[in-house]
Amino acid sequence: MKTITIAHSKGGVSKSTLAWNLAIALRMSGLRVALVDIDGQQVTLEKTSLARTASGYDPFPVIIASSAGELSSIIMKEDYDIVIIDAGGYDYDLGRVAIAIADRIVVPISEESTEVLGFTSFLGTLHTIAEHSPVPAVMIVITRAHARAKSFAGIRSAAALWPSATIAQTVMRRRAVYSASMGHGFGVTELAERHPDAAYEMYRLAREIIYEQY
């Protein structure tokens, strides 16, 4: 069983969109996936899950955890192959617990300078956690990238500040289907016929996040 925490100290960087789409893609690949929302301020994924049920799709339940005890009991149960935790875009105790107990931290960042700069303050949180426990492997996912963008120099130099960080080769492009599909509780991999590029991108990303060496 592997625990993946999707985190960034900044809001609106694609954490929930990535968490939801990863969870759907991995479940479609046959894995037992627990999707955990620890962002008590917004519970975005719970709303997405309700929208899915309302759309008449097969349910995808989201587990709400509001304490370290609840979080660790989900992980200890061993009922799942993958636990995906969607953390809030701010620095808080439960978010730090979710980072410390993960096998891998996935950090979505776009090229926007505020997100790249925000990564530096996120690293401050990782340094504080490192004083008490080892910090899991960090993988950066480039998100909301324009169709033709390909150098991502700002993100690459920010990533170098955490020498063991890797950057996923698969880039999550800016696509309207991400927000449109989430509104109805779908994942882009379920819309492969009409949105093959988005579906392919998400399957590749899921494979990198789950299987690449930790």
Residues within the interface to ligand ATP (CB under 6 A): 11-17, 39, 42, 44, 89, 143-144, 172, 174-175, 178-179
Q: Which is nearer to ligand ATP, 11 or 59 (CB)?
A: 11
Look-up: residue for tokens 């410390």?
100
Closest approach of Cβ 76 to ligand ATP, in Å? 26
Are the beta carbons of 118 and 10 closer than 8 angstroms? Answer: yes
Question: CA torsion angle for 28, 201, 214, 45 (degrees, to 10)?
Answer: -60
- Angle at CA of residue 55, ends 28 and 175, nearest 5°: 65
**Interacting residues with Mg ion between 158 and 177 (CB under 5 A):** none
By C-alpha distance, which of 187, 214, 212 is closest to 201? 187
Residue nearest to ligand ATP (CB): 89
Q: Which is nearer to ligand ATP, 76 or 176 (CB)?
A: 176
Look-up: residue for tokens 């609106």?
12
Strand partners, 167: 140
How many angstroms separate the CA atoms of 129 and 126, rounded?
Answer: 5
Q: Which is nearer to ligand ATP, 3 or 17 (CB)?
A: 17
Query: Token digits for 133?
Result: 């426990």
Closest approach of Cβ 164 to ligand ATP, in Å? 23
Q: Is 189 exposed, middle or buried (0-12, 13-18, 19+ CB in 10 A)?
A: buried
Q: Which is nearer to Mg ion, 1 or 177 (CB)?
A: 177
Q: Which is nearer to ligand ATP, 135 or 141 (CB)?
A: 141
**Binding-residue pattern over the window 29 to 48 for Mg ion, x denoting contact by CB under 5 A:** ---------------x----
Q: Residue 34 binds which one of ligand ATP, Mg ion, none, with CB within 5 to 8 A depending on kind?
A: none
Binding site for Mg ion (CB under 5 A): 15-16, 44
